[in-house]
Amino acid sequence: MFAPVSYHQKNKLLLPLAAIVLILCWFLAFGKTYDAMMIYRDLKDQASGAEDLSFNPAYSQRKLAALQKILKSYQVSRSEWSNELWMKASAIALKEKAGIEYAITPVESDTASIGKTETIYCYGNYVQLIKLIDAIENTKGIGVIAGLQIKAPKKDVIGERASQCVLQLKFKGLANR
């Protein structure tokens, strides 16, 4: 079918075939890498010539607004916080058909901690507790959920709470001055 190729014919085809392989490699791999390197170099030059964002007034205003929004979510009334937290959390628990218990925690003088901390315990099935967390998280004026823990029902508990999960919510708030 094909005539045998002589050694001289192979040598004559070697250079064109090598050129075709190199061109094919360039288009399939090296060309894209080279283009990416050029784009990177251009973007790096633009970034080094751009001004520092920390001195940009528009950026500083956006950053300040975001920080104010975060601080506002922690703000609570100094004298009314415990009552307001209990009332709002109880109303949400009643709406979600979950039980609630307020844990009175003694006030400890902790110099490392800023603000006040309150804890509540809720009882119900898992779905009720997740809905309760979502509703409480979106409630304003009661601080921010600093920690939560959901425990599965215990087999050794007797009574109505034997089949209920336990949710512990810790709230953190900064008292208004």
Please state, in angstroms and rounded to a whole number, the distance separating the CA atoms of residues 102 and 90. 9
Residue 23: inside a domain: yes
| pLDDT level of residue 172 (50, 70, 90 thresholds) | confident
Domain boundary among 38, 71, 104: 71
Give the list of residues 6+ apart from residue 107 with CB closer than 8 angstroms, or none.
116
Convert the pLDDT of each residue in 42-84 to its tens digit.
Answer: 988 887 766 666 677 788 888 889 988 888 888 777 777 778 8
**Which tokens is 144 given?**
């921010």
* For helices 81-95 and 126-137, angle between their N-to-C axes, nearest 10 degrees: 140
Mapping DSSP to helix (H, G, I), strand (E, B) and coil, where does residue 106 land?
coil
Please state, in angstroms and rounded to a whole number, the distance separating the CA atoms of residues 165 and 169. 13
Residue 2: inside a domain: no
Contact yes or no for 76/142 (Cβ under 8 A): yes
Residue 43's CB: how many other CB atoms inside 10 A?
Answer: 10
Residue 64: inside a domain: yes
Domain count, the chain: 2
158 and 82 share a domain? yes
83 and 152 share a domain? yes
Convert the pLDDT of each residue in 10-50 to its tens digit.
Answer: 888 889 899 999 888 888 888 888 899 999 999 888 877 66
CA separation, residue 169 to residues 66, 86, 138 (Å): 25, 12, 14
Give me the mean pLDDT over the 78-94 stretch.
83
Residue 171, pLDDT > 70, answer yes
159 and 125 share a domain? yes
What's the confidence (pLDDT) of residue 109? Answer: 47
83 and 124 share a domain? yes
What's the confidence (pLDDT) of residue 38? Answer: 94
Q: Where residue 128 sits, what CATH number does that domain have?
A: 3.30.70.60
Residue 99, pLDDT > 90, answer no
46 and 131 share a domain? no
Residue 105, pLDDT > 70, answer no
Q: Cα–Cα–Cα angle for 94, 96, 102, nearest 5°? A: 50
Q: Give the domain extent around 136.
A: 73-175
48 and 97 share a domain? no
Sign of the dihedral through C-alpha 76, 78, 79, 85: positive
Contact yes or no for 96/130 (Cβ under 8 A): no
80 and 52 share a domain? no
Convert the pLDDT of each residue in 109-163 to its tens digit.
Answer: 455 667 778 888 888 888 888 988 899 888 888 888 888 888 888 777 677 767 7
Residue 109: inside a domain: yes
Which one-letter amino acid corresponds to residue 155? K
